[in-house]
Amino acid sequence: MRTLVRIVYHGGIMRWLVAPALMLVLAGCQGPVTPNQDVLTAYPQIHLASYSLQRKIALQEPVVSRVGDGQLDIVVPVRNLLNHSLYLEYQYRFLNQQGVQVEESSGWNTLRLPAYSMQQIHFTSLTAQANNFDLDIRRLR
């Protein structure tokens, strides 16, 4: 029995079994290889200051609603993907239907994300003229 095992492994039988299987696997790899897309976020209103920030946080879809007298209310869930605290700054602007800014920029606000935690960036417009928003996020230095 040991001789038979030695022949299977040291003989040409393994090469005859592995080579066709490898060719079948490689035959499935056809067509061009698509490069990584340089998309920082899937949400066009949210702008990350650096590409590396994309690997440190995960953004969920913004929740947009109307409150009060028609003000635009925005909630953006942000998750820390790191095993240590992360400090971010964010700034937002409200825009009308034509994309023109209707209120002053908020200034930079600070957000602390503990390790592997989730927080929300929450802001509301002052007027009902706001139909959209822009949000900039960067790492606090």
Contact 116, 81 (CB under 8 A): yes
- pLDDT > 70: what percent of the chain? 71
pLDDT digits (tens, 9 = 90+) for 20-38: 555 555 555 555 555 555 4
Return the CATH class of domain 46-139.
mainly beta
Domain spans, the chain = 1-31, 46-139
Q: Is 13 helix (H, G, I), strand (E, B) or coil?
A: helix
Provide the pLDDT confidence category of residue 40 given band limits of 50, 70 and 90. very low
Closest C-alpha to 66, from 132, 140, 136, 114: 132
